[in-house]
Every structure is written in C-alpha cells, then in structure tokens.
Amino acid sequence: HIVKRRLDYEKPDFLISETALTFDLFPEKTVVTSVLLVKRQNTKASHITLDGEELCLVSVSVNDKALSSDEYELNASGLKLCIDCDSVELKIVTEINPKQNTSLEGLYYTQDAYCTQCEAEGFRKITYYLDRPDVLSIFTVTIRTTDAPNKYLLSNGNLVKRYKEGDTDIAVWHDPHPKPSYLFALVAGDFDLLVDTFITRSGRVVNLELYLEKGRLQQGQHALDSLKKAMKWDEDTYGLEYDLDVYMVVAVDFFNMGAMENKGLNVFNSKFVLADAKTATDEDFFNIESIIAHEYFHNWTGNRVTCRDWFQLSLKEGLTVFRDQQFSADMSSYLSTRISQVKVMREHQFVEDTGPMSHPIRPDEVMEMNNFYTVTVYDKGAEVIRMLHTLLSAEGFRKGMDLYFARHDGEAVTCDDFVDAMATANNMDLQHFRQWYSQSGTPLIAVSKKENDLAATTEFTFTQVNPKTADQKEKSPLFVPIVAEFLDTSGKVVDAPSLTNSSIIVNEQHNSFSVEGTNLTPVLLDKFSAPVVIDYDYSIPELLHIIRYASSSYAKWDASQRVFSACIQARYAMQISNATPRGDKLINNRNTLDVQGVLSEYANVLVNADIEGDVLVELLSLPSTETARTGLKTIDPIAFEDASEYVQKSFAEHIGGHALACLSASQVATYQYSVEQVNQRALNASWLKLAVLNEDTRNAALLEIEQRYIQSDNMTDRLNCLKVCQIENIDLFDKLMSSFEQEFGHDAVIMDKWFGLHATTKRVDILAQLDLLRAHGQFTINNPNKVRALIGSFAFYNTLGFHQKHGAGYKYLGDYLLDLDKVNPQVASRIVTPLLQFESFNEPYKSLMKSQIERIFTSKGLSRDLFEKASKALT
C-alpha cells in the first residue's frame, strides 16, 4: 500500500473539459460509456494514466479509432494510453456490478434502487477517469433503464429531457457548472416525492425535491423546512445564492456516512432526513437541520470553490462545519450547541491526537483517503476557522470570505489560498496563525499566577507545551487566542484594558500578562476560544465562584465539568491508590479532596441559586470519561467507570428530593420542536435520572418512568425513560424494550435506537446478547447504520462490556472487524477506533487491546483502510 505525500503534488498533465456518460442500468451488469474531451496541459506529456478500480474494460477508442489491447496498459489501479496531441476524444466502455458492491462506494444497488458515492475516490469504481479534485469538467449524463420500477432517473444539474425508446426509459441531465468527479451522482429508483420552491434573493425560482422511501412523505417536512432556512441564512449571512433550477435530496438506508453534497443532487443517510415527533428525538431534529444545512452550504464552500488535492480537505470541511455551527447557533440555543461542539473536541478530537492516527488539520501523508474524514479535519478544522473569526471579527471574516469567492470561484484551491484571502482582505499578517494547518496535537497551556501586593496587581504566566504526537516529534508554539475575564472576590468582572478583543494572545512558549487587583479568579478559554487544554490548578472555591458569578454561561458549565472531574479523579485515586503511578500530579493533588463535601456544596449552589433552565441542564450533567480523565496518561477503565458512577450517585443523593419535585412540577405539552420545549425535555431527563439514582426517590421515579413511557407523545421522552431504567432497573428496561420492539420493529431507522440501547446495557452476558441481536431480522452486516448502532455503540460506549478483564470484549470486536472488512472496509476502519487507543489504558487492558490490533494487522487480504490504521498503531 502506497503512501501519498502532500508536498509531492503536481499539476495534472491533462484536463477533461467535457464528460459525457451513458449508463445502461442493470443490477448485475451496468454498462458505462464515457466520452471524454481531453486537453493536454503539459506539452511534454505523451501518456495519460486514468484511475480505475474493480472495472471490467470493454473497449477504448481515441478519436473514434478503437485501440487493441497492446495499445494500452491495464492494471488494478488504472489504464495508461498514449496521447501525443493537445486535444482528443476518448471513448471508454466499462462494465460494473452494482449489486455485488457492498463497499457502498462507486455505483451500488440496494433495496431496488441505484445510488452512487464518489467522494473521495469512488468515481474510479464507475469508469476510468482522472479521479482527482483539480480536474473539473462539464458533465452530461444519460441514464437508460428497462426496469419499470426505476421511476426516477436522477443526476446532477438540470434535466434536459426525459423520454422513452421502446421499453427503455431515458433521462438526460446537464450540469453547467464544471465539477470534479467526486461530486458526480446518479440515483435511479422509485420514491415518494416531497416538493416545494424557494425564490432566491435575485429572483431565481428553485424547485426543491425530496425523494423518500415510499410511505414516508410526512417524515420529510422538517428536512425540507431546514433546507429553506439554510438557503435563506446563507443569503443573509454570506450573500450566497443557489445556482441551479433544482435542488434534490435523496434519502437512502444504505450509506457510509451522514450525507453527500453532490452538485444539485445530495444523497442522505435516511437517518438524517426522516423525522416526526413519534419517531425522532430532539437530537435527531437538530442533526437533520444541521446536516441539511451543511450539505447545502457546501454548494459554495466545496463545490463552487473546491480542493486542489485531498490533503486540503479541511478547506471545504472545516469551513463548512464552521458555517453549519454558526447556522445551528442562530436557529437554536447558542449554549447547548457550543457545548456539544466542545464535547466532540474533548471526547473525540483530543483523543485522536493522543493516538496513532494523530494528524494536522491538513494532513501530510495519506495511505487511504477515507481514513482522513476525521474529527481533526472536520471539527478541529472548524475550530481553526472559528479562531480566525474571533481574531478578525464577524465583519472582517465576511470581507475575507467575499475576497475568497471573488478570487477563486470555479477553481480548485488550497488552505493557504483561503488564509491568503483572509489576510489580504483584513490587511493582517496571519503567518504565525498558519501553523495550525501543519502542526498536529493539542497544546497544553499551563497557567500560573503571582500576586504583587505592593502594586496590587496579579501577573498570570502562560506556558505553552506542545506534546509530541505519533506523527510529529518537533513542535513549536502556536498562536492561541484565549478569551478571558477576571473576577474579584465579590464576583465583579475587573477591567482588563490590555485584552485584545477580550482575548489574551499566547504565541510564545511563555507569555505573561498583568491585571490590576489581587485575589482574582481567572475565567479562561471562555466559549472554547481555541482548541487547547488549560492547565490551571483551580481550587474548588474558585470554581464555585465562577459558577456563581461568571458573565458567561459557557464558563459556568466549563467550571462545573472541572468540579465533577476533580471529584471523579479523587475517588478513582482512592480506589486504585496502591497502583497509582508515581508522579501523577493530578491524582496526588486530588487524593485529599473531600468528595462528599464538594458535591454537597455544589448541589447546594444549584438548588438554591436562580439559574435559567438551559444553563441548569448543563450544570447537572457529569463529564464523559474522556473529559474527566484529563491529565491522566493511562487509566484502569473499569475503576474509572466505578468512580464516575460513585460521583454520579452521590451527587443525586445531595440533590435529594428536589429532582423528583421539579419533575412533578413540569407541565406536559403537545410535542413541538422548539428551543423552549427542547430545554424543558432535557431538564426533565436530568431530573428523572437524578431521581432514580437517589435511593429515597427511586421507586417513585421508576413508577413515573413507566407512566411517562406509555403516555408520552414523543420519542425524546420515551428514549430518555429507556436510558434511565437501562442504568437502574434492568427488568423494567427489558419490559419497555420489548414493547418498543413490538411498536417499531418494522422501522429500520427507529430500530437503530433499540440496537444501540441493547449494545450499551451493562450485562454480564453482553457478548451472547450481541450474538442474538446480530441474528435479529432487522440486522444485517451490509447496512452501516446497523453495524454502527450495534457493534459501534458496544465498542465506543459499553465500558464494562468492552473492557473485560480477559479481553473477551476486544476479541469480539476483532473477530467482527475481520468479517466486516470484507464487506465494507470504510465502516470497519471507523469502528476499529476504540482498539487503537491501547496506550491510554493500564495493564492488562493495554496488552489485550494491542494483541487484537496485531491479529488484525497480520490477517490476510486486509483492506488498505484497516492496514493503514493497524500499522500506524503498531509503530
């Protein structure tokens, strides 16, 4: 398997100005005829090499002259032939088998429909082509079928004509916008169609068409409404309009990721389209709105201006995630959306950075591109864009965006081109800032304070530590904006005139910063202004001071996470005190913490202070293991889980009868997806959990759960009920889960929730349960949603089931991955992630996990996807 390097980029020797494709669709033998107008760019080039994989070549001709097999070279990755003039017409006929294609990359056929997925390098599984993003071409696509159920024949752009020739149905599509092959799409099948129109601000009438599984029309309305909101928002916020007469969204059940932004024809995982109160949770409604927006926003950031090469992926993904995050914050609550983004960073991206797959947001080396659709490229990429937005202000950022489009519309460009546009438009030197694109890892900012009583000032010193990562040893200090405020003893924010845009800029290994006054509590990294870890030795009174007085709700939440984390670490240290590694600073410091005292005081603050519901819901939730273990190099996962449960239960006891009282006082209204109701349901879920965890109120709360489960009109409340009794009453859980299955057993999308709940239940016989669930009628290894719901949930979230003392959980995943790799390598390569983190665990877990990676690495016929990850984990 070959490693490709970013710095090896070379311009293409040939371009393809026009691409005409004809598909004669048959499930087991589709014939693809491709006519390409090839233009030579480099006069020294005499041969063209077209990418192609798993294709059966039928014929090749150049300018209508058929080539014999000794006039071209064919191998497993492509087709090479001679072109020694500046312009030729190339005609290539290939055959493919969409039904046999279980990788869901290229053209595939499932559930009586044809569908494509070409990003990143899937087009080469359809026909021989220059399958690279800097080759932009105008596409005309003809789809032919004799199969009557293929009522809709869809491709990119505008429909030119639809007609019949004998018993063959034919559709011709033309996309006037030049595009790279990864944005090509074709869908053929029978669907229900939901339509609407949107009139752009310059008056273009755009037909909006949602293609849904038959019988699901009602469940598409939220997605359609979201699309209209996104179109309007992009016009208002960035002045960007849609550019075709039709915008199509197709929902399919078999899909490798969330959705795909193919020009004019988005393909979506049906999980991110279908929703109504009865079947979808508030979180589902939120995700649909955000993913619909994300794909729509790609029309400018990704499609009109695309990537020069795949190393630049964050150019489109980081920027588009940032845009969808801005949109979501405008549509719903700022606080909860920002917190969920920060959780993704702390729970997944920071973890990726400590493991073998660590890479910068613009990677330098890639073996399998599909392995780089990561939380680093996407979410850290968005955080980097967010820092630019903070530094330049909203207005300056918009100026930069305008210049970026003015310069590069219709081009394939680099991350540097983007930063150049931002720098020029704002007349700002962003040289140091660019380092974020090339340096991997999470900076640690150690903060210390020194009071000068005579001058009545406090000096804060920031020391930037950039730990080495698996991919890079040498690091240098980054440019880090830390939004901060300082509270005096009465809780007032002190004036700090030397802040720039409310930020302290940390750009050297040591930066010092002086503030008037003493006895100050620093509130640091408000709103997560940079993707870093702040290491300041907060005392519990300081944290409680922040929770009482900070001007920002985000800062209160962040402080509350530190309170809980300190308690969990203290309890954990006590549990494993014999095995505590020497020199583990945090453990030693926290060892002496009076956990019960802290929790009692914290619960008291929450119960007695007047805190808004949306803030309260965040302050009541414990951090994840990944957040709570910050500062600990390795942990015993089971002991850590025990410590976390102990803290959760103790906290519930200190909250006391208040939880049940608040729950009983809450009003039940008919379901609406609105900010107020979403907050109220989330708060009720927190009270319910606390009431069940508290022994005094447990029985009353369990009765409440059963009633609520039966009476509720929505999936959010019902799922919350199931999650709570999953922890504390397995009999009731089993009873409600059976009733869930009876009610929704026919519905593939809803049943994923059921599989996920089963997979995360604490049972000694969890592995036998997984076997049973794999034999369930709704489960199939061919469907990524099912695999993620069952096997993914188990490996990522079932701590006790996965981390078994003798490694049975790890072996279960290892066995499964080897089977899955043959069916769908992309999905296998995502689900291997929990095993890659073995360096973060104590023995015997570490060695047992590692031995599964070794087993995978040495198995025969391993995909490039799994090979890349396993080999990196072992070096």
- Residues in the site for Zn ion, rule: CB under 5 A? 317, 320
Contact 531, 383 (CB under 8 A): yes
Stretch that binds ligand HT7, among 3-11, 114-122, 408-416, 771-779 (CB under 6 A): 114-122
Residue 373 contacts which entry, ligand HT7, Zn ion, none (Cβ below 5-8 A, type-dependent): ligand HT7
Task: Please give the torsion angle defined by the CA atoms of residues 392, 393, 397 and 398, in that order, rounded to the nearest 10 degrees.
Answer: -150
Q: Is 131 in the site for ligand HT7 (CB under 6 A)?
A: no
Picked from Zn ion, ligand HT7, none, the partner binding residue 315 (CB below 5 to 8 A depending on kind) is none
CB of 71 to Zn ion, least distance (A): 41
Query: CB within 8 A of 180, min separation 6: which ones?
Result: 132, 133, 134, 135, 136, 137, 306, 412
Look at residue 112 and give its three-state secondary structure: coil
* Partner that binds at residue 260, options Zn ion, ligand HT7, none, CB closer than 5 to 8 Å by kind: ligand HT7
Instruction: Give which of ligand HT7, Zn ion, none residue 257 binds (C-beta under 5 to 8 Å, depending on kind).
Output: ligand HT7
- Interacting residue with ligand HT7 among 295, 309, 653, 868 (CB under 6 A): 295
User: Taking the complex as a whole, how short is the minimal distance between the CB of residue 143 and Zn ion, in angstroms?
Assistant: 26
Check binding of 653 to ligand HT7 (CB under 6 A): no
Q: How many CB atoms lie within 10 A of CB 428?
A: 15
Query: x/- site string to ligand HT7, residues 259 to 288, per CB under 6 A?
Result: xxx---------------------------
**CA separation, residue 82 to residues 10, 50, 100, 656, 764 (Å):** 20, 11, 32, 79, 64
Binding segment for ligand HT7 (CB under 6 A), chosen from 113-121, 163-171, 755-763, 767-775, is 113-121
Distance, CA of 869 to CA of 833 (rounded, Å)? 9
Q: Which C-beta is closer to Zn ion: that of 319 or that of 606? A: 319
Nearer to ligand HT7, 289 or 653 (CB): 289
- Give the one entry of ligand HT7, Zn ion, none that residue 654 binds, where binding means its C-beta sits below a cut-off of 5 to 8 angstroms depending on kind: none
Using the minimum distance from each CB to Zn ion, give the nearer residue, 307 or 643: 307
Please give the structure tokens belonging to residue 444: 């640690």
Burial class (CB in 10 A: 0-12, 13-18, 19+), 331: middle
Query: Least distance from C-beta 258 to Zn ion, angstroms?
Result: 8
Strand bridging mode 205-212 / 246-252: parallel
Lookup result for tokens 């546009």: 421
CB of 520 to Zn ion, least distance (A): 42
Q: How far apart are CA 246 and CA 235, in angstroms?
A: 17
Q: How far is the CB of 121 from ligand HT7 (least distance, A)?
A: 9
Residue nearer to Zn ion on the CB measure, 119 or 368? 119
CB within 8 Å of 676: residues ≥ 6 apart? none
CA 13, 264, 241 angle in degrees (round to 5)?
100
User: Out of Zn ion, ligand HT7, none, which partner does residue 704 contact, by CB within 5 to 8 A per kind?
Assistant: none
Task: Return the SS3 of 90.
Answer: strand
DSSP 8-state assignment for residue 41: S
Q: Residues 6 or more apart from 97 whose CB is under 8 A from it?
A: 28, 29, 30
- Residue-wise burial string across 48-68, b where 16 or more C-beta atoms lie within 10 A, e elsewhere: bbbbbbbbebeebebeeeebe
The strand pairing partners of 48, in sequence order, are: 81
Whichever of 254 and 744 has its CB closer to ligand HT7, that residue is 254
Q: How far is the CB of 831 from ligand HT7 (least distance, A)?
A: 15
For Zn ion, which is the closer residue by CB, 62 or 183?
Answer: 183
| Cα separation values, 246 from 173, 189, 461, Å | 12, 18, 56
Q: How far is CA 307 from CA 180, 317, 365, 414, 694, in A?
A: 9, 10, 16, 6, 54
8 Å CB contact between 322 and 422: no
Quick one: what does residue 119 bind among Zn ion, ligand HT7, none, with the CB cut-off 5 to 8 Å set by partner type?
Answer: ligand HT7
**Considering the complex, what minimum distance in angstroms separates the CB of residue 586 from ligand HT7?**
36
Total residues contacting ligand HT7 (rule CB under 6 A)? Answer: 13
Q: Binding residue for ligand HT7 (CB under 6 A) from 117, 328, 469, 778?
A: 117
Adjacent-strand bridge partners of 266: 249
Pairing state between β 246-252 and 259-260: unpaired
Question: DSSP character for 166?
Answer: T
Asked if 133 and 308 count as a contact pair (C-beta separation under 8 A), the reply is yes
Integer Cα distance of 335 and 825 in angstroms: 37
Q: Name the pairing type of β-strands 87-96 and 30-40.
A: antiparallel
Residue 775 CA to residue 791 CA, distance in Å, equals 13
Nearer CB in complex with Zn ion: 306/320:
320
Rounded to whole angstroms, how far apart are CA atoms 101 and 873? 29
118 touches, from Zn ion, ligand HT7, none (C-beta below 5 to 8 Å by class): none
- Pick between residue 113 and residue 257 the one whose CB is nearest to ligand HT7: 257
List the x/- string, 320-359, binding to ligand HT7 by CB under 6 A: ----------------------------------------
Residue 322 interacts with, from Zn ion, ligand HT7, none (CB under 5-8 Å by kind): none
CB-count exposure of residue 13 (10 Å: 0-12, 13-18, 19+): middle
Among 373, 418, 740, 802, binds ligand HT7 (CB under 6 A): 373
* Identity of the residue, 320 or 778, whose beta carbon is nearer to Zn ion in the bound complex: 320
What does 469 bind: ligand HT7, Zn ion, none (CB cut-off 5 to 8 Å by kind)?
A: none
CB-wise, 178 or 381, nearer to ligand HT7? Answer: 381
Residue with smallest beta-carbon separation from ligand HT7: 257
Residue 653 interacting partner from Zn ion, ligand HT7, none (CB closer than 5 to 8 Å by kind): none
Ranges within 204-263 binding ligand HT7 (CB under 6 A) = 256-257, 259-261
Q: Which is nearer to ligand HT7, 294 or 654 (CB)?
A: 294
Q: Give the catalytic positions in this structure.
A: 295
Print the SS3 string covering 179-217: ECHHHCCEEEECCEEEEEEEECCCCCEEEEEEEECCCCH
Minimum Å distance from CB 26 to ligand HT7? 24
Can you say whether the dihedral through the CA atoms of 547, 549, 553, 559 is positive or negative?
Answer: negative
Q: Which residues contact 612 (CB under 8 A, 6 or more apart)?
A: 553
Q: How far is the CB of 502 from ligand HT7 (least distance, A)?
A: 31
Q: In angstroms, what is the minimal distance from the CB of 291 to ligand HT7?
A: 8
Q: In the complex with ligand HT7, which residue's Cβ is closer, 298 or 338?
A: 298
For residue 587, give both structure tokens. 């453990």
Contact between 561 and ligand HT7 by CB under 6 A: the answer reads: no
186 contacts 139 by C-beta, under 8 angstroms: no
| Least distance CB 308 / ligand HT7 (angstroms) | 16
Query: CB of residue 69 vs ligand HT7: minimum separation in angstroms?
Result: 34
* 385 is a site residue for ligand HT7 (CB under 6 A): no
Using rule CB under 6 A, residue 289 touches ligand HT7:
no
Residue 857 near residue 870, CB atoms below 8 Å: yes
- Minimum CB distance to Zn ion smaller for 361 or for 568: 361
Shortest Å distance, C-beta 257 to ligand HT7: 3
In the window 297-326, what residues touch ligand HT7 (CB under 6 A)? 298, 317
Residues that bind ligand HT7 (CB under 6 A): 117, 119-120, 256-257, 259-261, 294-295, 298, 317, 373
